[in-house]
Amino acid sequence: MDKIYDLVIAGGGPAGLSAAVYAARSKLKTLVLESDSAGGQLTDYEEMENYPGFTDITAPELAKNFKEHARKFGALTADGEVQRLDLESSPKKVMTKDGKTYHTRSILIATGAEPRKLDIPGEKELQGRGVSYCATCDAEFFVDLDVMVVGNGNSAVEEAIYLTNFARRVTLVVIHEEGKMDADSLFQERAYENDKIDFVWNSTLKRIEGDQMVDKAVVENIRTGELQKLDYDGIFIFVGREPSTEILEDTGVELDQSGYIVTDEGMRTNVPGVYAAGDVRQKPVRQVITAAGDGATAAVECQKYLEATEHWRENVLDTESEVIVFFWSPTDDDSLEAMRLLEELEIEEKTDKELVRIDAYGNDFIPDRYGVEEIPTVITIAGGEEKERIIRPTAKDLEGLLA
């Protein structure tokens, strides 16, 4: 078998690279698979004003720093767009579109999100020929030309402002009534103050026209139903994003109704050893700082999972002796009393059985895996199979373990 990684990260954005920093620093064999240049959605923007500790840095510069930091601690990176996952094999498999397969003990999904399409006539046909979803990528093609920006959130307004450095005029199409936008007040103020930005209120884009290139935009006033056909050289669409979760098809990983990955506060999915971080997961705030935090959390939790599973394999599953597993918590009085009684019994000295203690408070993976819901619980395992379970054992129950 090829090299087995401790953690393979699908996605090289802020979430994936932050996880790589923490994982590699903890000496986990870590690989980051990047489908594009490192930085993920960061590379779609220019300004970066709200990442704590950096008052004067661009988004591409920050993305570069993320990657260099991860490499400093030994994380490996490779070009490769993940196409499919095999989460049932042991170790797990990550397959890329270029035919490579990577084996890993755990996986972090940090594939981010893609621009949401309007699905209107002309959009697909003219994408790349005047229709764009990235001002940073394409602004230089519209020097001294007239462009339209559809959307009114932070991304739309920020990109409209950025486009004024290149275009002759920028028109922002806003679905709300005049003076109302979804963007933060800071971005709104900057847009209003920019004399190269015009606004079309109460409107949506209905159709894009052009032969080989964008030529016209048909805009509808949602109040009156009036249609306007306006001349534009470029259309930039920023109406939100959709999670990139195609690789999870038929894997059993839980998604919400919008397609985002469902995780707990530890970034754990419903599949053991599989984590999700950043814009691809269900969360209320999608910013670089929250993605980085997700990645750090995922890496720490992943390390706990790997340590717990390795300890379990070595001391329970692979041992020839019968194993008594004691699930307890240092915060539970009954657990402490049961622990005292077990130590007095000296099970390992008086029998050929092994005693393994699992702190359910500090690491809940194994308890969850075995359906341990009450503490303390004692499970007897032989040959990897459960033989007996005692919930909240009495002194007599514990004495019976000597038999």
CATH number, domain containing residue 36: 3.50.50.60
Range picked from 105-109, 154-158, 283-287 for highest mean pLDDT: 105-109
As a whole number, mean pLDDT of residues 149-166 equals 94
Does some domain include residue 122? no
Whether residue 276 is predicted with pLDDT greater than 70 in this model: the reply is yes
Q: Which residues are tagged catalytic? A: 134, 137-138
Whether residue 59 is predicted with pLDDT greater than 90 in this model: the reply is no
Q: Are 329 and 397 part of one and the same domain? A: yes
pLDDT band at 37 (very low <50, low <70, confident <90, very high): low
Residue 63: the pLDDT is 84
Could you tell me which of 264, 261, 263 has the C-alpha nearest to residue 247? 261
- Residue where a domain stops, chosen among 312, 331, 349: 312
Residue 304 CA to residue 272 CA, distance in Å, equals 12
Residue 43 CA to residue 58 CA, distance in Å, equals 10
Per the CB < 8 A criterion, the answer to whether 219 and 189 are in contact is no
Of the given ranges (25-39, 104-118, 304-318), which has the lowest mean pLDDT?
Answer: 25-39
Could you tell me which of 62, 115, 241, 236 has the C-alpha nearest to residue 164? 236
pLDDT band at 137 (very low <50, low <70, confident <90, very high): confident
Whether residue 45 is predicted with pLDDT greater than 60 in this model: the reply is no
Residue 245 CA to residue 280 CA, distance in Å, equals 7
Number of domains comprising the chain: 3
Residue 284: the pLDDT is 82
Does some domain include residue 140? yes
Q: Are 294 and 356 part of one and the same domain? A: no
Q: What is the pLDDT of residues 320-371, one digit of tens each?
A: 899 999 999 999 999 999 999 999 999 999 999 999 999 988 777 889 889 9
Does some domain include residue 126? no
Long-range contacts of 150-153 (CB under 8 A, 24+ apart): 150/118, 150/204, 150/205, 150/235, 150/236, 150/237, 150/238, 150/239, 151/237, 151/238, 151/239, 151/240, 152/176, 152/181, 152/182, 152/183, 153/181, 153/182, 153/183, 153/238, 153/240
Q: Are 302 and 326 part of one and the same domain? A: no
Residue 20 CA to residue 39 CA, distance in Å, equals 13
- Residue where a domain stops, chosen among 208, 237, 266: 237
Residue 403: the pLDDT is 83
User: Of residues 117 and 51, which shows the higher confidence score?
Assistant: 117
Residue 47: the pLDDT is 64
Q: Are 230 and 248 part of one and the same domain? A: no
Does some domain include residue 121? no
Q: Are 226 and 293 part of one and the same domain? A: no
As a whole number, mean pLDDT of residues 115-133 equals 93
Does some domain include residue 123? no
Whether residue 33 is predicted with pLDDT greater than 60 in this model: the reply is yes
Residue 101: the pLDDT is 96
Whether residue 39 is predicted with pLDDT greater than 80 in this model: the reply is no
Kindly provide the residue ranges of all beta strands, DSSP E only, lying in 121-196, ordered along the sequence: 131-132, 146-150, 169-173
Q: Are 151 and 174 part of one and the same domain? A: yes
What is the domain extent for residue 30? 4-115+241-312
As a whole number, mean pLDDT of residues 106-124 equals 94
- Residue where a domain stops, chosen among 237, 262, 281: 237
- Taking the model in full, what pTM does it have? 0.79
Q: What is the CATH number of the domain that holds 341?
A: 3.40.30.10
Q: What is the pLDDT of residues 195-241, one digit of tens each?
A: 999 999 999 999 999 999 999 999 999 999 999 999 999 999 999 88
